Amino acid sequence: MKIVNFLYKNRQAWGAVAGERIKIMEGCPYEGIKFSGETVDFRKCKLLAPANPGKIVLVGLNYRDHAKELSMKIPKEPVIFLKPATALSNPGGRVVYPKGVKRLDYEAELAVVIKRKTKNVSEAKSLKYILGYTCLNDITARDLQTRDGQWTRAKSFDGFAPLGPWVETDIDCSDIKVQLYLNGKLKQNSSTKNFIFSLQQIISFISNIMTLLPGDVISTGTPSGVGPMRPGDTIEVKIEGVGTLENYVCASRLR
């Protein structure tokens, strides 16, 4: 099932894609899915980021190919960081290139949305706590990341976490392609089989640190090939069996 969060005639709702229609749900999908019986035309809906996170938790280095590219040692445990919920942006939306930033990078990532309270879960049970899978672009002001030494400013500007286009509930993510296209050109091309830590390890690890709540997002790190974007660029995160998240970079109006 592809779960969408959308606007239709200025009304927000959740639903499931059914061909060219969307079957509308009652309330949020986190605590169990109930359909209202109504459907709407998919083409007349504006998709929203398919989560309502209190927090977005990301893994810093999780692909063997990316560690090799950066000449970094394989970490012994996941390195995690947070983005604020205000970094979220919608599929198809614009990402503002912040004033003063010298280098703005894309990072294609597989993300999951949490569906119920997740605290101290085992790896074996971890996948029962997720609603499903989506695409995230971990946009990073690389010059600020290097300058600051810690990552909060570099990762947290408004709009730095495009998410979507929907949540796919039915895939096995152990070996799926994760790709990034910049203006139609392939820039990142790897598979989740290159993960250093499995999704199960990541969910269990994070849940033993902080309680994850319905709507929270976990992003699983980016493969090799990260690089810069400029205003006017189109960026697509394409994940096999999940979908394509497309966004545009625009210049800041602040001067």
Q: 202 near 78, Cβ under 8 Å? A: yes
- Single out the residue of 118, 126, 222, 247 in contact with Mg ion (rule: CB under 5 A): 222
Within 8 A by CB and 6+ apart from 109, the residues are: 58, 135, 136, 137, 138, 178, 219, 220, 221, 222, 237
Q: How far is the CB of 138 from Mg ion (least distance, A)?
A: 3
Rounded to whole angstroms, what are the CA distances from 175 to 170, 187, 191, 209, 232? 14, 19, 6, 27, 33
- Dihedral pair phi/psi, residue 57, rounded to 5°: -105, 130
Within the chain, residue ranges assigned H as helices are 64-69, 142-148, 152-155, 199-207
Instruction: Rank residues 1 and 176 by Cβ distance to Mg ion and give the closer one.
Output: 176
By CB under 5 A, tell whether 107 contacts Mg ion: yes
Instruction: Rank residues 138 and 236 by Cβ distance to Mg ion and give the closer one.
Output: 138
Q: Tell me how many residues contact Mg ion (CB under 5 A).
A: 3
- Could you tell me what percentage of the chain is helix, strand and coil, using 3-state DSSP and rounding each to the nearest 5? 15, 45, 40
Site string for Mg ion, 52-91 (x = CB under 5 A): ----------------------------------------
Window contacting Mg ion (CB under 5 A); options: 39-47, 170-178, 214-222, 229-237: 214-222
Instruction: Rank residues 23 and 107 by Cβ distance to Mg ion and give the closer one.
Output: 107
Q: How far is the CB of 226 from Mg ion (least distance, A)?
A: 8
Window contacting Mg ion (CB under 5 A); options: 32-40, 164-172, 217-225, 226-234: 217-225
Query: Tokens 């950066």 correspond to what residue?
Result: 70
Residues that bind Mg ion (CB under 5 A): 107, 138, 222
